[in-house]
Structures are given as C-alpha cells and as structure tokens.
Structure 1
Amino acid sequence: MGVWNLKRLAAAGMATVLAVALAACFVLPGKFAETLDIRKDGRFTYTYTGEIMVLGLTKLATMADAAKGTFVPGPCFADDVSGETRECSKDELAQQKADWEADRKAGEASRKERDTGMMALLGGIDPSDPCAGEELAERLRKQAGWRSVIYKGDGLYAVDFAMAARLDHDFAFPTMERMPMLIPFLTINRRADGSVRISSPIMDNQGSGAQGAGMGGLAAVMASDLGASDAKDPGLTSFPKLDGTFTLTTDAEVLANNTEDGPKADPAGKRLVWKMNIQNPAAPMALLQLVQ
C-alpha cells in the first residue's frame, strides 16, 4: 500500500477516534473535589465542586473534520518492489486530488449526520449556535442542586453542586434535563439487604480508555497521528485533564472498598479517599451496610 493511501487511512482513523470520543465520553470531569457523606440511617449529602466538560460544545467536533487535512500530494513509485520514488505525472496528481475531494465530500455528509446526532444528545441545543454553551448553563441552573454554573467557553463549565436527601432511591450525578444518555460520574445503588454500593460508571467504562488513560492519552494519540504542531492546537490544549479527589465519610459499616489505604478514623465515623488522575484512573468503589 502506498504512503498516500496510508495517510488517507490515518486521517480517516483519527476522525473516527474523535467521533467515538464525542459519543462515548459525552460529559467528562476535569479538576474537581467530590464528597459524599452517608449516615447509617440512610441520610446522605453529596457535593461536586470543579470542572465538567461537555464534548459536544468543544472544538473536538471541528477537529474531527480538520483531521482530514488539506490536500498534500503523495509520492509516486518507480515500481511495486523497490520503493523508490519518482516525480508524479499530471494525471497521477489529478487522481490523488480527485480521491481527496471524494473523501472530503463523504466527510461533509458524515459531519451533518454527526451534528444532528449531537443536537439530540444535547436535548435540542444546537452545538453550532454561539449561545449553546450558555443555554445549557441556564438549563442546569434551573435544576435542583446546581448552586452555581459558570460557562467558561469551549464546552468547559465551573460548577458547584450539592444535594442532601435520604437513600430510599438510587442516586446519580450528573443528570441533565433532556439529556438521558450521560454516563454518571458517581452512582449510589440501594440493595434489598440494606447495603449500598457506591461506584463511578464514567471510570468503569472509560478508565483504561479515553477517560482514564485519558483525555491526556487521547491528546497523545492525536499528537502522534497528526504531528507535533497539531498537538498545540487550542482544541487539544484546552482539553481537561482528569484531576480530582473523592472523599467518602460514613458511620455505617464498610463492607468493601478499593482505596489504597482503607478506612481512616474521622469525626464523622470513617473516611475513605480516592485520588483520580491520568496516572491513577481506578474507578472508586465502596459497599456500606446501613441499618434497616
């Protein structure tokens, strides 16, 4: 296979990687502090302070188009064996450009389909609208628990969320009105025997992939495939790096957990702490026994 064809496949592959990231990792954490306090009688308080990123509102979508590149003539070869290059004829250059144009037109159709799908994921918000980011912020401010939502641009939000309730039902964060496809950062599931399981689905699903290895790992893939100059693109440098702590306090019995140090004494009973970053993308998990 010629170098020209390899370049075409590499560009198409990168566009695919970015499209998958948009769909599978739709809302991601950035820098954050997350706390959960659960009392053995079922009362709980949850807070999340820090960054969230909505990928459908970032430059990532346009980068998927840019990954197709601009037309650059590929080499022509003297034969199929030696690998020696020669000057391309006008007809060969014309064919290369025709192939590139065909790929670009196919990409335009894919982009329109992608934008329609992203609008559905955003609950009807048009990601191409300059006001889309603030429109989503205003929608979140109307939901209970979102004490502060500040849109910082390029899909990035600074948020302050707090919720206090009783565990007579499951709980998940975040939930966003008219956007049911989100993978939660945290879930609390109540079991019939009175125990509760705390976990992080976003890390379970993405911990060794786009989220855990992570957003920085995805940027490294882009850098190697698109070249060092592309790695400096604002769409990459503004991509949030996972960097947070999750602190669980409880007076309930801790049946299981996957912290490095286990439960520690705390005025609230026991304390468990998880540090999450691209070097340590393990998904937090704990199982507590409440008093029925």
Structure 2
Amino acid sequence: MTIVTSTRTYATALIAGLSLLLTGCFITPGKFNSELVLTQDNQFTFTYDGEIFFLGLSSLAEMGASSEKFEPDECYDENTFEGRDCTETELAEQREVWELNAPVRAAKAQEQAKQMGAIMGGIDPSDPQASAELVELLSRQRGWERVIDKGNGVFDVRYSASGDLSHDFMFPLVEGFPSTNPFVQIILREGNLVRVNAPGFAAQDGANPIFGMVGGMAGLGGMSSLTSQSPDGEENSNIPVLEGTFTIVTDGQIKANNTDEGSRADASGERLVWEISPRTKTAPTALIDLTS
C-alpha cells in the first residue's frame, strides 16, 4: 500500500481561514495609539490613531483565489514512512481527482466571493479599486479624519468621536459591514456605571476570534501576531503586528480594571494604560462610576 499525504496544507489552512473570515471576523488593529476620556458630566471622547488591517483586502485573500493550480501530493514509503517521488501513475491519478473536483472548487470560490462582497458593504475584494472604494466609504463617515491606503489590506487612519454618554458605543463601525469584531466597546449600565471592553486589543484572547483563528492554522505559523509566513519561511512583513497603547482617562471612580499597574494620577483625574503586543493575553477592561 502506498501512503500519500498532502503538501497543500498551507492552501487548505488558508481556505479554511477564508471561510471563517466570511463570518465577519476580519478587521484587526496593527500599530496604534487609542485613548478614551470619560467625564462625570457624562461626556466621552474616543480616538484611534494608527493602522487597521482588512484581511479580505490582503494578499492572503488573493492567495485563496490564486490557489487554483494543481500541486501533487507527496508520496511516502509504506514501510519506512519516508518521503519519496511519486510514480507517473500516482501523479496521473492525483491529477484526475483534482480535475474532477474543479467544478466544486470553482462554485465554492464564486460563492465565497459573493459572500465577501456582501459583508464588505458591496465592495468586491477582487476589484483592483476595492481599496480605493473602502477609503471613500470610510472618509464619508463622520469621525474618520484620516484614511490612507498603505497597501495589502493595511490602512493608516485617525478616528475621533465625542459627545454625550447617552448610548452604547463601539469602534470600528463601518457602513454595510458586520459589527462582530469590535476593537473597543463602551457599555452603559444603570447607576451611571460604564463598562469599557477592548476585545480587539488582545492577540491571545477568545474575545478576539480572528487572532485565535489565524494563530491556530498550522500553515500560517506566524499569524497569531498578524505576521504571516509562507511554507518556505518567507515573512509577509506588510501585514501589521498588533502593537500599541490603549488609555482611559477619567474623573470618575474606577471600580475595577485589569491593567498591570493600576491607575495613575492625571491632571483630569486618573489614567489607566494598557501596553498592547502580540503577547497580550487578556482584553483590556474597566468598570467606571461616573456619578458626580
């Protein structure tokens, strides 16, 4: 008996990742600085300055479309389990199976492209103008003060919002996009309590599914920090690493937080600071009482 194992693990993992991508978990921070100011007069100011990575517009997504190429499986000796060259007959059999499955692959690729366009506000990620369309989409939304396409799905942005704490708040919120992958959430509770969660600022937390998704894909070994590697070990440095600082400044009473060092004195009250990196295991969170 001949033992055959696939050498297309990288492509298989990539396709699996792109399938999960369609659930909406596809926007992540890169290098950034973000600050939230909360005051007892029920006002807030939130800023995010830095990189945002859209996986659907990156070269990883493009590789999914370009993987329509026959690559023979590797053959192994049935006794020693050592790799060997496949025979012509084995190669012919593999190619025949691959060709028979071509209609299934084509239909799946077409369906995924349609689904991706639907969750990206109608933007077709395979269109060369997709990034420009996203820049236009974000720029016309209030709060996006800077949107620059850096290429490969990475955008340099500045976002700022302020106003009354009369309702919950979430960032980012993109018109036509699913809101399943928030960086920061402000949740209002009864009694003038405010819960702040930042699930997007953790690389190893179940609250941020995209990092767990990509980190668990064997063929994309370095992606847990959003730095991918191809099978030959080449690093795709254009994919940003999660790195930054998240700060909360408030004149309210900090009831709970998970910073390493607790609050620090600030001219406006108290300051909480989280240093974010690919090693950050737990999403920043705080509970603040804004009762004056």
Could you tell me the TM-score, scaled by structure 2's length? Answer: 0.85
Residue 180 of structure 1: aligned partner: 178
Amino acid in structure 2 at the alignment position of 1:200: A
Please list the CA deviations of residues 155-199 of structure 1 after superposition, one character each: whole Å capped at 9, or x if unmatched.
111101111111110011111111134411001000012100000
CA 1:82–1:179: 2 relative to 1, 3 Å: closer
How do 1:111-190 residues align onto structure 2 when only pairs under 5 Å count? 111-190=109-188
CA 1:280–1:85: 2 relative to 1, 3 Å: closer
Amino acid in structure 2 at the alignment position of 1:112: Q
Shift of 1:72: 2.9
Structure-1 separation of matches of 2:122 and 2:229: 35
Which sections of structure 1, spanning at least 5 residues, go unmatched? none
Residue 234 of structure 2: aligned partner: 232
CA 1:247–1:87: 2 relative to 1, 3 Å: closer
Amino acid in structure 2 at the alignment position of 1:143: Q
Amino acid in structure 2 at the alignment position of 1:232: E
Structure-2 separation of matches of 1:227 and 1:272: 35
Is the partner of 1:190 in helix, strand or coil?
strand
Residue 249 of structure 1: aligned partner: 249
Is the partner of 2:52 in helix, strand or coil?
strand
- Taking only aligned residues, the RMSD between alpha carbons, in angstroms, comes to 3.1
Structure-2 separation of matches of 1:253 and 1:87: 69
Amino acid in structure 1 at the alignment position of 2:98: W
Is the partner of 1:100 in helix, strand or coil?
helix
Length, aligned pairs only: 286
Shift of 1:25: 2.7
**Contact persistence 2:203–2:279 (CA under 8 A):** no
- 2:265 is the alignment partner of 1:274: no
Amino acid in structure 2 at the alignment position of 1:191: R
Residue 53 of structure 2: aligned partner: 53
CA 1:73–1:282: 2 relative to 1, 3 Å: closer
Structure-1 separation of matches of 2:139 and 2:177: 15
Is the partner of 2:186 in helix, strand or coil?
strand
Which sections of structure 2, spanning at least 5 residues, go unmatched? 223-227
Identity %: 37
From the two aligned structures, give the one with the greater helix fraction: 1
66-75 or 91-100: which moved more? 66-75
Please list the CA deviations of residues 201-244 of structure 1 after superposition, one character each: whole Å capped at 9, or x if unmatched.
335796257655696x47874259x98654426xx332111001
Amino acid in structure 2 at the alignment position of 1:248: I
Shift of 1:11: 4.2
**Contact persistence 2:5–2:76 (CA under 8 A):** no
Structure-1 separation of matches of 2:79 and 2:194: 65
**Contact persistence 2:32–2:243 (CA under 8 A):** yes
CA 1:155–1:9: 2 relative to 1, 3 Å: closer
Residue 12 of structure 1: aligned partner: 12
Residue 258 of structure 1: aligned partner: 258
**Contact persistence 2:146–2:158 (CA under 8 A):** yes
Please list the CA deviations of residues 70-117 of structure 1 after superposition, one character each: whole Å capped at 9, or x if unmatched.
42363364xx55557887554333112112334454332221111111
Amino acid in structure 2 at the alignment position of 1:166: D
Amino acid in structure 1 at the alignment position of 2:160: A
Could you tell me the TM-score, scaled by structure 1's length? Answer: 0.85
